[in-house]
Amino acid sequence: MTGLHDVSSHGATPRAPRRWWRHAGYAPLSVLAAASVAALLLGMTTTAQQNRHTVPAVTAAPTGTAKECRPPVAAPAAQPWLSGGASAEQTWQQHSAELAKPYLVGSNGWTFWSDYIEQYASQAVGRDTLSQAQLDAWASYHKSIRDNLAAQGIEFYIEITPSTSSVYPEQLPTWMQSLRGSTILDQYLSVAGDLPVIDLRQNLIAAKTPDTHLFSWSNSHWTGYGGYVGWKQIASCVNAMHPSDKPLQVPAITGTRVIGDFNEWASFGVPSPGQDWSVPTFAHPLQDVTYTDNNQQTKTVPGDTDMDAGWLPLHTSVPNSWTGKSALIIRDSMGNALSPYWDQAYSPTVQVSHLYNSYSVWPNYRQLVDEYHPKVVIVQIAERHLINAPPPGAGY
């Protein structure tokens, strides 16, 4: 399970500690400080009013695939940030000391990133949103990739792997519950139109049980079983889009088992509630996979092996893939739990990091396609990366 808690890979910058006035006798300074806070809240409210006019309306999936690709997700009970968010922002600031840590401890020992990583906490409740220009940039970016690939007869899918907070929102800190509104993912789907976007949230929410975790309470990634549940929907969606092709398969399982505790926050001194990393138990072994990693080491491993993001770029192959197609997969660490199924479905695969969280390096699709000649291109994006809208010229 290497690479699951490598904070450096997230491009994070620790926040400077908040400084407070120590001497109450300095009345003019206290007044100035209060005025500054008021101005800050006003500025935040003004920005909120600019970006948060309406509740995003999720648009239709590609024709005939809405049920499989984008099953509707229940809207939040309230939209505390849409009407300016002044009251919500005041509540947020009351918890500034808690938010200044890299992590937040929620209900039942579940731990989440704070805004230390890509404004994770603010994204989780809808406090951080994208402007219309940023949303248009995402839509234009993905449409340029889709259209150029389609002109070459190449299939294209966008698999958005959700954050823990989107599947287990009830485990966020109690004070955050009343602040939850629509998120950047909701915004993105409102402009996605007929893009081949797969939204996995609802099926994961429906599959939750108290005993088998789809996401870990001590790690920001989904578990192996969470990836399996996500794959079932991916397979259903892709098969609906291409009903005459050899289908993606969903391997039968006999149950699940827990293989360990991968505490992403151990280095911060946060204890884990215990082992909860659930993985599927396959009814029949998957084909062995041969891979070559970024150190040019070639190995053959059991088919249920996760291809870790720390090994990227890598190449995989199996004797008889499900589809008979080759694939270029542009992914991040949330792709670890999907990799066993990609490796069985396509051969060969080339898997590279999209680096959408680096703010400077974006994948060159044209160059990669020219080099590897795939029949299928998949981009898998962790939900939180949607906060980083593409720069001009980053498309195909």
- The percent of residues in the chain predicted with pLDDT above 70, rounded, is 84
| 20: in domain | no
Burial category of 229 from C-beta neighbours within 10 Å (exposed 0-12, middle 13-18, buried 19 and up): buried
Would you say residue 283 has pLDDT above 50? yes
Closest CA to 126 of 81, 192, 178, 191: 81
pLDDT band at residue 37 under the 50/70/90 scheme: very low
Position 30 pLDDT exceeds 50: no
State the average pLDDT for the chain.
87
| Helices 27-51 + 86-94 axis angle, to 10 | 130
Percent of the chain with pLDDT over 90: 77
Whether 18 shows a pLDDT value over 80: the answer reads no
pLDDT tier, 27 (very low <50, low <70, confident <90, very high otherwise):
very low
Report the DSSP beta bridge partners of residue 331.
Answer: 353
Residue written as token pair 């409210």 = 45
Report how far apart the first and last C-alpha atoms of the chain are (Å, whole number). 33
The pLDDT score that the predictor gives to residue 61 is: 74
Residue 201 included in any domain: yes
Looking at 111-115, 205-209, 341-345, 354-358, which range is the least confident one? Answer: 354-358
Average pLDDT rounded to a whole number, residues 175-190: 95
Q: What is the SS3 assignment for 105?
A: strand
> Does the pLDDT of residue 64 top 80, yes or no?
no
Q: Is 196 a domain residue?
A: yes
The answer, yes or no, to whether residue 82 has pLDDT greater than 90, is no
User: What pLDDT was estimated at residue 54?
Assistant: 61
pLDDT at 50: 45
Considering the domain boundaries, does residue 7 fall inside one? no
Beta bridge pairs of residue 289: 301
Residues 6+ apart with CB under 8 A from 339: 305, 306, 307, 316, 351
pLDDT digits (tens, 9 = 90+) for 217-231: 999 999 999 999 999
Domain residues for the domain of 205 are 53-387
Q: Is residue 188 one of the residues assigned to a domain? A: yes
The string of pLDDT tens digits covering residues 376-394 is 999 999 999 999 999 888 8
Looking at 63-126, list the stretches that DSSP marks H as alpha helix, in order from N- to C-terminal side: 66-69, 86-94, 96-99, 120-125
The band of 361, judged by pLDDT with boundaries at 50, 70 and 90, is confident
Q: What is the mean pLDDT of residues 303-317?
A: 97
Task: Give domain status of residue 43, yes or no.
Answer: no
In the predicted model, is pLDDT for residue 63 greater than 80? no
- Residue range 46-64: mean pLDDT, rounded: 58
- Which residues are CB-neighbours of 344 under 8 A, at least 6 positions away? 249, 251, 286, 287, 289, 303, 318, 321, 322
Average pLDDT over residues 363-382: 96
Which has more pLDDT, 204 or 3?
204
Q: How many domains does the chain have?
A: 1
Residue 18 lies in a domain: no
Rg of the chain taking only CA atoms, in angstroms: 22
pLDDT above 50: residue 214: yes
Give the mean model confidence (pLDDT) for residues 12-17: 33
Question: Is 46 a member of any domain?
Answer: no
Query: Lowest-pLDDT range, 40-54, 220-234, 336-350?
Result: 40-54
pLDDT greater at residue 257 or residue 356: 257
The partner residues of 297 in beta bridges, in order of sequence, read: none
Minimum mean pLDDT range among 222-226, 260-264, 275-279, 361-365:
361-365
